[in-house]
A and B are shown apart, each in its own frame.
Chain A
Amino acid sequence: MKKGEVPQHKSILESANLREMCYAVDENGEYTTALSTGWDPKTIALENALKEIEERVETAKQRVLANEASPIVYYMELHKMDLGILASYVGLWKWRVKRHFKPSVFKRLSPGTLQKYADVFDITIEELVHIHP
């Protein structure tokens, strides 16, 4: 890549006033660095990945509202987590967290356990138990 060809496309980085560093060759063939505001192919990839997450969150929400899953599933997706990550944040075995995904089990959770989840998601127990459509 030549220095003049370092892409300066619009991206999310701009909003955060951030530019990333790329390596490129100058007119004499010597390596140098240049800052880039973004490149479309990867911006699209990131946008697609984020859209995917949004869809997952929405699906989870519908499942919670239909009483097919506990609110933990919704908050897990909202925080871009998966089972393994969530389990390590709450400090429980994966199989236990998975059990808590069931609405029937979730209903019987102790305040202590609920507080653990609420702390991880940085919300109150009230917000954890009642999610709004």
Chain B
Amino acid sequence: MQIDFTHKQSAHCENGVVSNLMRHNGFEVSEPMVFGIGSGLLFSYLPFLKVNYAPVFTYRVMPGLIFNRFAKRVGIKVKREKFKKTEDARKRLDANLANNNPVGLQVGVFQLPYFPEEYRFHFNAHNMVVYGKQGDTYLISDPVMEDVTTLTDRELEKVRFAKGAFAPKGHMYYPIAFPETLSLEKAIVKGIKHTCRDMTAPVPIVGVRAMRWVAKNIRKWPQKLGAKKANHYLGQIVRMQEEIGTGGGGFRYIYAAFLQEAGKVLKNEKLKDFSKEMTEIGDQWRDFALEASRVYKNRSVQTDAYNKVADQLLDLAKREEAFFQALRKAV
């Protein structure tokens, strides 16, 4: 069976799944809108957590949070199911497909066959939609891919039951109840306020304070860790900022697109200027990545080079702090 489902590529998998599922149910909501209302933007530094032998830097909120917040703010009900047995997970999926209901799945990337080998890491918070089954083959709409694809029964089971941090445990989700009309105005304001609060929060591991902390640490890395590890860490920052799914500039461009769209919905001219400013901030993040890449490309050990990168990050922190303080007052 095959459900009539429109696949549309998106920058980020979670927004994409939500946006595509919404469209299937008759509500046109763009990817940036989902991201903005779900307060997806963030900066966070978790030095005590290591991924690939480097600390965790993230430019977005925890997996799953975007959809949850989005659903709550626009008044959708989402059903989520997790499974202990692979058999149950498959049965429930098949039952939904037989019911003409495409579902979102959380999967691990490591064993995803259509991803290039080089991109397969143990990352368990990827999202996709299953929209049909033919024989033993599931029809897959993966939002980061240009086209739809397929997975066999066995392949899908493996990625649904990937292990490690954020193990999906067959996690399946789909919207079950919708409001009569979708009104975004209040949801947008809530989403923006939440992001402003997060980014200027008085804790060291999130928002602009986290950027300052990273900047401070970058200066210490070459002496403390040696050039090799310092470069590895710097590379990790750039990878988290620019990897597939960010839309460029550590989600800042997606957020700028959201502000532009939000300005039109709320008829708030000021948001247009905020969007422009956010685009420039995104550009500055790209410059930061470029500068950092020069350091690890040349494997330079000059402390000066690290200081320069750290200074750029401090500039960004200052700019984003002013930005979000002003944005909060504008909505």
In angstroms, Cα B238 to Cα A22, docked, is: 16
In angstroms, Cα B290 to Cα A9, docked, is: 14
A88 beta carbon closer than 8 Å to chain B: yes
- Name the residue on A nearest B293 (C-beta): A41
In angstroms, Cα B115 to Cα A71, docked, is: 27
A111 to chain B, nearest CB (A): 22
In angstroms, Cα B275 to Cα A13, docked, is: 30
Within 8 A of A (CB), among B77-124: 110, 114-116, 118-122
In angstroms, Cα B124 to Cα A88, docked, is: 13
B10 touches A21 (CB 8 A): yes
0/1 string, B223-260, CB within 8 A of A gives 1: 00000000110011011001111011100011011001
Q: How many residues of A contact B (CB 8 A)?
A: 39
0/1 string, B111-148, CB within 8 A of A gives 1: 00011101111100000000000000000000011100
- Interface residue from A20, A48, A84, A85 paired with B244 (Cβ < 8 Å): A20
In angstroms, Cα B275 to Cα A33, docked, is: 15
In angstroms, Cα B119 to Cα A18, docked, is: 12
- Interface residue from A21, A23, A41 paired with B238 (Cβ < 8 Å): A41
A114 to chain B, nearest CB (A): 19
A22 touches B248 (CB 8 A): yes
B59 beta carbon closer than 8 Å to chain A: no
Residues of B within 8 A of A21 (CB): 9-11, 144, 247
A25 beta carbon closer than 8 Å to chain B: yes
A1 touches B282 (CB 8 A): yes
Contact A42 B32, CB 8 Å, known A13-B116, A20-B144, A20-B244: no
A31 touches B260 (CB 8 A): yes
- Interface residue from A23, A50, A88 paired with B118 (Cβ < 8 Å): A50
In angstroms, Cα B146 to Cα A22, docked, is: 13
In angstroms, Cα B12 to Cα A22, docked, is: 10
B300 beta carbon closer than 8 Å to chain A: no
Within 8 A of B (CB), among A1-55: 1, 6, 12-13, 15-16, 18-25, 29-31, 33, 35-36, 39-42, 44-46, 48-50, 52
Most chain B C-beta atoms within 10 Å of own C-beta, residue among A6, A24, A45: A45
A45 touches B238 (CB 8 A): yes
In angstroms, Cα B292 to Cα A42, docked, is: 10
- Interface residue from A23, A85, A88 paired with B256 (Cβ < 8 Å): A23
Interface of A is mostly: mixed
A49 touches B116 (CB 8 A): no
A107 beta carbon closer than 8 Å to chain B: no
A49 touches B297 (CB 8 A): no
B163 touches A31 (CB 8 A): no
In angstroms, Cα B226 to Cα A93, docked, is: 33
Contact A1 B116, CB 8 Å, known A19-B146, A23-B247: no
A43 to chain B, nearest CB (A): 9
- Interface residue from B145, B235, B249, B261 paired with A18 (Cβ < 8 Å): B145
A1 touches B164 (CB 8 A): no
- Name the residue on A nearest B290 (C-beta): A41
Residues of B within 8 A of A15 (CB): 116
In angstroms, Cα B122 to Cα A79, docked, is: 9
In angstroms, Cα B205 to Cα A99, docked, is: 34
Within 8 A of A (CB), among B243-291: 243-245, 247-249, 253-254, 256-257, 260-261, 275-276, 279, 282-283, 286, 289-290
A81 beta carbon closer than 8 Å to chain B: yes
B296 beta carbon closer than 8 Å to chain A: yes
A88 touches B164 (CB 8 A): yes
A82 beta carbon closer than 8 Å to chain B: yes
A48 touches B116 (CB 8 A): no
A16 touches B116 (CB 8 A): yes
A80 beta carbon closer than 8 Å to chain B: yes
Residues of A within 8 A of B290 (CB): 41
| 27 contacting pairs across A/B (C-beta < 8 A) | A1-B249, A1-B279, A6-B248, A15-B116, A16-B114, A20-B245, A21-B10, A23-B256, A31-B253, A31-B257, A31-B275, A33-B247, A35-B146, A39-B242, A41-B289, A41-B293, A45-B236, A45-B239, A48-B235, A48-B296, A49-B232, A52-B232, A81-B122, A82-B50, A88-B164, A88-B167, A89-B164
Q: Which 10 A-B pairs have CB atoms at the shortest separation, nearest pair first?
A: A41-B293, A31-B257, A23-B253, A16-B116, A45-B235, A85-B164, A88-B163, A42-B242, A22-B248, A23-B247
